[in-house]
């Protein structure tokens, strides 16, 4: 089985421009492809997993990845999948975010001479002359066709700024520039990027008379069609300082039964033959599958040692052996306590289990908070100092989030 056939079997490919040519190219290890990453935050998220693992798989098959950092396009903001305009960042913010991205990418792909490259489109986009760009590139785009693109349609009702309208032209120019200067013959991206990617292949055809290729990756969604990679509305980050290895492990450990095998197939590097045997798993076997998924992905992002710690902590919490040393914890100082103890809302905020006092109140009123297995029923509840005689208490949020508060 070639790498292209494996990608199909794993359910990773959504759309391609020319399947026969792309299959031949990637199976022969002759693809020099790029995936773009706009630097809108200082960490990649679980939503980037598909792109990162695809780059790794294709590099392992002999193809050469280019990680394109969007230092230029981030200054515009991609309207795809948005109903509002993205926050505009400074050049310094974007550069800092790009540096953070590279560190995280190095866990997936190997950079160096003849290996993966990282380039920043700020190098060419920020120096473009506007009139020259209009003459050279603008004439190749039909406004009628652009407005039919899905990424613009959903913004038209609320208003699409001219700034964002230029995003497709900038992304297309990236592909054109990389084709001319880096020998890049293929672009990969999320399925919501299809219109932008076709803009690039068309620009190359019109300007250079050459064929370039595009392939979109299936978006990672749950069984309800929602994008995966967020928990309680917050992103699941690859940076351990933003999402701890334990919380990262727990996110994947808690995916729905209907999603776990799809995630294992799409995201892990386990052999397909091994995954196919799991298709008949039911009941408690699916819990085992979730542990496999969580461990494999945590090891991929944070290393095996952190994955083992997270797994041990999770098992201790749910009463399956192991120890509680690796449970997420927050140490409090004497100043955090009154003579009686610490208010439950203050404890939840200190532990970063909630983002506001209002959220804490709602959680308590809905019966979603316990301390040492005792449900908290009043927002005025104070965890008494005597409960800390063993050195800590354990707060449970909802059914599956546990946190140790240390005094």
Per-residue DSSP letter, 47: G
Same-domain status, 348 and 266: no
Within this chain, do residues 208 and 109 fall inside the same structural domain, yes or no? yes
Q: Are 71 and 149 contained in the same domain?
A: yes
Q: What angle do CA 401, 249, 95 make, to 5 degrees?
A: 110
355 and 312 housed in the same domain: no
Q: Does pLDDT of 219 surpass 80?
A: yes
Q: CB–CB of 178/212 below 8 Å?
A: no
Task: Mark out the alpha helices in 137-240 (DSSP H runs).
Answer: 143-148, 150-156, 162-165, 167-182, 194-208
The larger pLDDT score, comparing residue 381 to residue 168, is at: 381
Q: Is 8 inside any structural domain?
A: yes
Quote the number of domains for the chain.
3
CA distance 220 to 369: 31
* Residue 324 domain flag: no
Q: Could you tell me if 118 and 240 lie in one domain?
A: no
Residues 150 and 262 in one domain: no
pLDDT score recorded for residue 79: 44
pLDDT band at 223 (very low <50, low <70, confident <90, very high): confident
At residue 95, does pLDDT exceed 80? yes
356 lies in a domain? yes
Tokens standing for residue 344: 């439950």
Has residue 99 got a pLDDT over 50?
yes
Site of tokens 């909630």:
354
Domain boundary among 254, 288, 317: 317
Q: Is 274 exposed, middle or buried (0-12, 13-18, 19+ CB in 10 A)?
A: exposed
Domain end, chosen from 293, 317, 341, is at 317
Residues 62 and 134 in one domain: yes
Q: What CATH number does the domain containing 299 carry?
A: 1.10.240.10
pLDDT value of position 39: 83
Q: Where are the alpha helices (DSSP H) in 19-166?
A: 19-27, 49-60, 91-105, 122-125, 130-136, 143-148, 150-156, 162-165
Is the pLDDT reported for residue 312 higher than 50?
A: yes
The reply to whether 41 falls in a domain is yes
Q: Does 200 share its domain with 239? A: no
Is the pLDDT score of 86 beyond 70? no
Position 169 scores a pLDDT of: 86
In the chain, the N- to C-terminal Cα span, in Å, equals 57
Query: Do 183 and 82 sit in the same domain of this protein?
Result: yes
Per-residue pLDDT reduced to its tens digit, 225-251: 777 776 655 688 999 988 889 889 989
pLDDT of residue 398: 84
Dist CA 324 CA 155 (whole Å): 48
- Per-residue pLDDT reduced to its tens digit, 190-207: 888 888 899 899 999 999
196 in the same domain as 90: yes
Is 13 in the same domain as 83? yes
Q: Indicate the residue among 269, 284, 317 that finishes a domain.
A: 317
pTM: 0.77
pLDDT value of position 87? 60
What does DSSP assign to residue 373? T
Q: Crossing angle of helices 245-253/284-302, nearest 10°? A: 150
Tell me which range, 135-139, 258-262, 384-388, is most confidently predicted by mean pLDDT.
Answer: 258-262
Report d(CA 207, CA 312) in Å as an integer.
57
Looking at residue 378, which CATH number applies to its domain?
A: 3.10.290.10
Residue 233 has a pLDDT of: 58
CATH of the domain at 104: 3.40.50.620
- Residue 301: the pLDDT is 93
Q: Are 118 and 102 in contact (CB under 8 A)?
A: yes
Amino acid 319: pLDDT: 56
**67 occurs within a structural domain:** yes
Does residue 322 lie within any of the structural domains? no
Tokens representing 126? 């920020």
Q: Give CA–CA dist 54/29, Å, rounded.
A: 14
Q: Which domain holds residue 307?
A: 230-317
* Residue 306 within any structural domain of the chain: yes
Residue 110 and residue 209 in one domain: yes
């Amino acid at each position: 089985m070639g790498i292209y056939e494996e990608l199909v079997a794993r359910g990773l490919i959504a759309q391609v421009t020319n399947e026969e040519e792309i299959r031949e190219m990637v199976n022969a290890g002759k693809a020099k492809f790029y995936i773009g990453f706009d630097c809108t935050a200082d960490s990649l998220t679980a939503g980037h997993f598909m792109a990162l693992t695809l780059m790794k798989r294709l590099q392992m098959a002999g193809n050469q990845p280019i990680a394109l950092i969007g230092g230029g396009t981030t200054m515009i903001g991609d309207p795809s999948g948005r109903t509002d305009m993205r926050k505009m960042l400074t050049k310094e913010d974007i550069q800092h975010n790009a540096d953070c991205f590279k560190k995280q990418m190095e866990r997936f792909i190997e950079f160096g001479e003849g290996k993966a490259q990282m380039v920043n489109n700020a190098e060419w986009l920020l120096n473009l002359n506007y009139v020259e760009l209009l003459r050279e590139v603008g004439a190749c785009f039909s406004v009628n066709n652009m407005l039919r693109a899905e990424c613009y349609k959903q913004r038209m009702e609320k208003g699409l700024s001219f700034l964002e309208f230029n995003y497709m032209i900038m992304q297309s120019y990236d592909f054109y520039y990389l084709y001319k200067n880096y020998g890049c013959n293929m672009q990969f991206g999320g399925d919501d990027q299809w219109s932008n990617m076709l803009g690039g292949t068309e620009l190359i055809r019109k300007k250079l008379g050459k064929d370039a290729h595009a392939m979109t990756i299936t978006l990672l969604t749950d069984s309800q069609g929602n994008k995966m990679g967020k928990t309680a509305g917050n992103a699941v980050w690859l940076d351990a300082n933003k999402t701890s290895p334990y919380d990262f492990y727990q996110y994947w450990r808690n995916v729905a039964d209907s999603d776990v095998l799809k995630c294992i197939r799409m995201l892990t590097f386990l052999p397909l033959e091994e995954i196919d045997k799991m298709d008949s798993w039911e009941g408690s076997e699916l819990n085992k599958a979730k542990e496999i998924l969580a461990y494999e992905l945590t090891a991929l992002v944070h290393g095996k040692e952190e994955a083992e710690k997270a797994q041990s902590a999770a098992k201790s919490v749910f009463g399956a052996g192991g120890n509680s040393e690796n449970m997420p914890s927050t140490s409090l100082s004497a100043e955090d306590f009154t003579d009686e103890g610490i208010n439950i809302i203050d404890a939840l905020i200190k532990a970063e289990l909630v983002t506001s006092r209002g959220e804490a109140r709602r959680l308590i009123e809905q019966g979603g908070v316990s301390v040492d297995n005792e449900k908290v029923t009043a927002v005025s509840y104070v965890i008494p100092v005597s409960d800390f005689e063993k050195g800590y208490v354990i707060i449970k949020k909802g059914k599956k989030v546990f946190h140790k508060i240390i005094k």
